[in-house]
Structure 1
Amino acid sequence: MKTLNLIFPVCILLFLGFSCNFKKIKSEDLSDLNLLQGDITLCGNGDFGEVSFSISCEEDVRKKFDLAISLLHSFEYSEAEKAFAQIIADDPDCAMAYWGVAMSNFHSLWLQSGTAYLEKGALALELARSLVRDEREKAYILALSKFYEDWETQSHQERAHRFELAMEKVYREFPDDKEAAIFYALALRATADPNDKTYKAQRKSGAILESIYPNQPDHPGIAHYIIHNYDYPELANLALATARKYAQIAPSSAHAQHMPSHIFTRLGLWEESINSNLNSTSSAICYAESIDPDGHWDEELHGMDYLVYAYLQKGETKKALEQLEYLKTFKKVFPENFKVAYTVAAIPSRIALETKDWILASNLEMPSIELNWEKFPWQESILYFARAMGSIRNGDVNQAKEELELLKANHEQLVRMKQIYESNQVQIQIKTVEAWISMFQGNQTEAVAMMRAAAEMEYHTNKHPVTPGEVLPAGELLGDLLMESKLPAEALIAYEYDLTQHPKRFNGLYGAAKAAELSGNHSLSISYFKQMIDLTNLNEIERKEIVEAKEFLAKN
């Protein structure tokens, strides 16, 4: 029996992938890992919130480990990896530092491109397994290994779900470990079904985080992930107080400065969104100047898209155009990823479509920033969609049909790439363009039915975190099409429902006001025109709709 008692734990360790022959890390092991090196770049006062993560590594590295975890919780991934690399340099046998490297390469809420991050993460965890002795740390390392195992054959979503289940086990086994609860909550959010309008996973994740928040009010991950969980029209109010606090918790993080604007956008708090993203882009510029003075960091572009969206909802076209002109000066961006591609396509498209400059929309071209658009068919489709809608409204159905074929080709490519969410987004654009082509060909009944289907599809699909909102919501476009069809009462219903999903949108309020006026509901028309005026800075009137609203209110 003594022999069995000795052998059994060894078998368990080997089965879990942990070596019992703990090895010393060699220089060639670290060379293969190709860690990000150098000083950690911190803008502002270097404050990223308060984290206390217990580890068994040398006492001297524990403070640095807490900083690395703070960076990780605010999605400052590159700087987090640098911090973990410094820990490895000081204590090469610190197993959790290698776990940290793997976590820094797992961007749980984003679908990454390429395989380099998977190779690095898998190797880092292999080294972690060869070093770990602490049972709790083994559990963390095993859980993350579930994401990196079989990455050559298993999809991102399948592996992320395995990680979620494994993190739940860590959360259950170590109930006093609040970091386990926080990382489990993030895993729940990462695997939430985008088509589940009950938000079951998000609510569960949010409840876990809210139970911890009172005792750790300055923890960056808790606030950050609460915002991500409630970044939906039906839930946004639950995160408003947290959103207003997060930027104060981690003032040195560009992402922390930006994230509150997700909730501000959901609630139509445009001035707060603008201030949030002005702070975020400023912090991102500071970071870029330290990393690559000739380049622009993706976090700056991400904030710019939200800025443009908010400016347009306030009727401040000039300020939106200033952001576009600034974007046109960019030559180098880093890293080349989906956020950059989205912003580059979305900003010019938003401005043309939101201001109803159909000639500009039909002639849009890709900005001069060099990107491999074959990697980003969803983002590229935004421009095709804008050109198609501009062409239709200019009466050039032939050009619209050409853009439609480009949309269909990109949809097929996304289906082949198994990017389900993205392919659905392009499918909504296809349905919308087909509806408007049908409308301008005189098939009004068919057009309305097709546009209703597009809007319904969009309402059943959650917004991606990369965007403040669709370049034109399908529900709002349904209202526009019904107005073109001389059906103002039905248009009013469409606009009003879309405003519940996209509160205080400039064009949605204008459409509702006009539809109410033409339906004979003058009191409601007055209400919507007043809401438009309340959104805008009357000293900077730049939209003819504002002039119309003022004239209508003066008469009524």
Structure 2
Amino acid sequence: MTNLSTVFRLSCFVLIFICSSCKQKASSPNAALASIDLKREELLLCSTEQFGDVSFALDCNYEVREVFDLALSLLHSFEYAEAEKTFVKVIDADPECAMAYWGVAMSIYHSLWAPPNADDLRKGSKLIDIAQSLDKSEKAKQYIEAIGAYYKDWEQVDHQTREVRYANKMEDIYLSDKDDAEATVFYALALTSSAAPNDKTFYNQRKAGALLEKLFEERPNHPGIAHYIIHSYDYPELASLGLNSARRYAEIAPGSAHAQHMPSHIFTRLGLWQESIDTNINSASSAQCYAQSVNPNATWTQEIHAVDYLVYAYLQLGDNEKALEYIKEMRGVDTVFPANDLASAYALTAIPIRMALENKNWEDAANLELPKTEFDWEKSPWQEALLHFGKALGYAHLGKISAAENELKTLKELHQQLENRDSYKATQVKIQIHAADAWIQLAKGHNSEALSLMELAAKMEAKTSKHPVTPGEVLPADELLGDLLLKLNKPTEALKVYEVNLESRPNRFNGLYGAAVAAKQSGNNDKATLYFNKLLELTKSSNGERPEITEANQFISKHQII
């Protein structure tokens, strides 16, 4: 990890332009700027390596164009805080550069992440007002009007509607000049960001990916192109289309913690666990470096996000030992920045739940607690629901029906909170409600009702896509359905369910194990051998001692052909 006393410093051209006598025009908008809280701290980037190649400094003074392009590169890798600081350096050197204000507004928009809060939306609106008041080219005017459509009427119009408005404006820019590479890149990102979360045709994502793939051939070192291809294809049905970009992106922008992490979205979808581990170790290390410089007493959300993917990958390799190392590390996290971050709240809650549920350690699951980190849980009902889902499953499997029903009641209350706020997250909690209730009904001996509820949960989950904040469900509904069918002595039906699960979630430890056991109980020793062998191959380098691996070895030894 880089020593933070030698944290990345801008190359000479930045220092030169900051210290140089760039002339400000008489009509500089200083008065309007005085009311806006802009980031003006030193740039803190834990690498002397690059962030990719872009060239897009519209209208700015010649002396600041390289700085503008650095800011844009940072923006394309979602290094939002540093991108804003770099755009602000352009504003300070050239206050009449309208596109610099556009850059700050884009940096606080956080496309694909949690929507900006009210303070950021007010800030973005003020920046757009300044940009619109300045002289600028027709192209700059189009870009500013596009992001302005997102900020307009933010107090009355919902986030999704405003995202669609922005996407429509970016489409106009793209259609007016298809040779404008940045227009294509931002239009593609807007398509993916504004896509309906339950659209399983992936119309927007496929369209975005096709635009970007063509452009990637011409601009192989552009960070945004590689990055947004990954986001466009971050779905089981599309993931194979993003593998080439995933393997390139970290090389294009080695200075970005997020660029080191993003390839694992594709690796996770394809079950390439070691590749996911390797890239997230790099990401977590880079994030630690950045945190020590910015806020040494806190943990940056990028590290926590990377660790969620690391734990998930280690668990699929059956390596509880390595997973537990990171879990213990995350237990020590007490302060996170940014505060109340969606990704951090999700990951810190999900990580220990994954450990308990993936290992079917129902006692641990029943005793789960919310992270000690300071979060406003009233604003995080989706994340809190993960905990109560895990506890409900734990209690139900232990036969503690009353305790399980109390957890189910809490899940229903959290669902009500989400119902009118976020339909996607409400649906995710509804799936958990049906799944938890299914295992409660099974514990009560209501087998038919249990099966109906679990089938409903699996059907609902199959119609939704995962949120980009997570590597996957804490336990897929298909796997829970397969487990329940085995409990009901229906191994043939269970095998079919496990195999469907493996199509969309390849190389999951419990998916392979469940399929092997279902095949064995069905009398299909050929398939049992196939899946047990796959499990052994998957876990051959594991440091763990999971009993499933012992069972697989015993079965193969008994049934191997002599």
Fold shared per TM-score above 0.5: yes
Residue equivalent to 1:343: 347
- Give the distance between the partners of 1:413 and 1:82, measured in 2 at CA: 36
- Give the distance between the partners of 1:80 and 1:367, measured in 2 at CA: 30
1:370 pairs with 2:370: no
Instruction: Report the alpha carbon displacement of residue 85 of structure 1 after superposing the two structures with TM.
Output: 0.6
- 2:148 corresponds to which of 145, 149, 155: 145
Instruction: Report the alpha carbon displacement of residue 59 of structure 1 after superposing the two structures with TM.
Output: 0.5
Aligned 1:222-371 pairs, distance under 5 A: 222-336=225-339, 337-371=341-375
SS of residue matched to 1:540 = coil
- 1:204 corresponds to which of 202, 207, 228: 207
- Give the distance between the partners of 1:113 and 1:538, measured in 2 at CA: 43
- Give the distance between the partners of 1:316 and 1:242, measured in 2 at CA: 28
- 1:477 corresponds to which of 474, 477, 480: 480
Q: Which runs of 4+ in 1 moved over 4 A?
A: none
- 1:501 corresponds to which of 504, 529, 538: 504
Any stretches of 5+ residues in structure 1 without a counterpart?
1-21
- 1:172 corresponds to which of 167, 175, 181: 175
- Give the distance between the partners of 1:342 and 1:218, measured in 2 at CA: 32
Is the contact made by 1:304 and 1:323 (CA closer than 8 Å) also made in structure 2?
Answer: yes
SS of residue matched to 2:34 = helix
SS of residue matched to 1:32 = coil
Aligned 1:469-548 pairs, distance under 5 A: 469-538=472-541, 540-548=543-551
Instruction: Report the alpha carbon displacement of residue 23 of structure 1 after superposing the two structures with TM.
Output: 8.6
Is the contact made by 1:345 and 1:366 (CA closer than 8 Å) also made in structure 2?
Answer: yes
1:94 pairs with 2:108: no
1:396 pairs with 2:409: no
Residue equivalent to 2:61: 58
Is the contact made by 1:495 and 1:511 (CA closer than 8 Å) also made in structure 2?
Answer: yes
Instruction: Report the alpha carbon displacement of residue 110 of structure 1 after superposing the two structures with TM.
Output: 2.0
Is the contact made by 2:320 and 2:544 (CA closer than 8 Å) also made in structure 1?
Answer: no
Instruction: Report the alpha carbon displacement of residue 114 of structure 1 after superposing the two structures with TM.
Output: 2.9
Instruction: Report the alpha carbon displacement of residue 29 of structure 1 after superposing the two structures with TM.
Output: 1.8
Residue equivalent to 2:6: none
**Matched AA of 2:346:** Y
- Give the distance between the partners of 2:178 and 2:226, measured in 1 at CA: 20
Instruction: Report the alpha carbon displacement of residue 133 of structure 1 after superposing the two structures with TM.
Output: 2.1
Is the contact made by 2:115 and 2:159 (CA closer than 8 Å) also made in structure 1?
Answer: no
Is the contact made by 2:110 and 2:116 (CA closer than 8 Å) also made in structure 1?
Answer: no
SS of residue matched to 1:483 = helix
Q: TM-score, normalised by structure 1?
A: 0.95
Give the direction of change, closer, same or farther, for the CA distance of 1:540–1:69 in structure 2 (3 Å limit). same
Identity of aligned residues (%): 52
**Matched AA of 1:262:** H
Give the direction of change, closer, same or farther, for the CA distance of 1:310–1:456 in structure 2 (3 Å limit). same
**Matched AA of 2:147:** L
Any stretches of 5+ residues in structure 2 without a counterpart?
1-24
Residue equivalent to 1:415: 419
Residue equivalent to 2:4: none
User: RMSD of aligned C-alpha atoms?
Assistant: 1.2
1:457-513 deviation per Cα after TM superposition (whole angstroms, max 9, x unaligned): 001000100000000000110000000111000000110001111111001110000
SS of residue matched to 1:463 = coil
Q: TM-score, normalised by structure 2?
A: 0.94
Residue equivalent to 2:87: 84
- Give the distance between the partners of 2:520 and 2:359, measured in 1 at CA: 21
What is the aligned residue count?
Answer: 534
- 1:216 corresponds to which of 211, 214, 219: 219
Give the direction of change, closer, same or farther, for the CA distance of 1:232–1:23 in structure 2 (3 Å limit). farther
Residue equivalent to 1:17: none
Residue equivalent to 2:19: none
- Give the distance between the partners of 1:275 and 1:128, measured in 2 at CA: 42
1:181 pairs with 2:181: no
1:375-420 deviation per Cα after TM superposition (whole angstroms, max 9, x unaligned): 110001000100000000111011110001111111111113x211
Instruction: Report the alpha carbon displacement of residue 539 of structure 1 after superposing the two structures with TM.
Output: 6.0
1:277-317 deviation per Cα after TM superposition (whole angstroms, max 9, x unaligned): 00000010011111111111000000000000000000001
**Matched AA of 2:415:** H
- Give the distance between the partners of 2:116 and 2:366, measured in 1 at CA: 31
Give the direction of change, closer, same or farther, for the CA distance of 1:539–1:110 in structure 2 (3 Å limit). closer
SS of residue matched to 2:234 = coil
Residue equivalent to 2:14: none
Is the contact made by 1:23 and 1:130 (CA closer than 8 Å) also made in structure 2?
Answer: no
Give the direction of change, closer, same or farther, for the CA distance of 1:539–1:421 in structure 2 (3 Å limit). closer
Is the contact made by 1:361 and 1:389 (CA closer than 8 Å) also made in structure 2?
Answer: yes
Instruction: Report the alpha carbon displacement of residue 344 of structure 1 after superposing the two structures with TM.
Output: 1.1
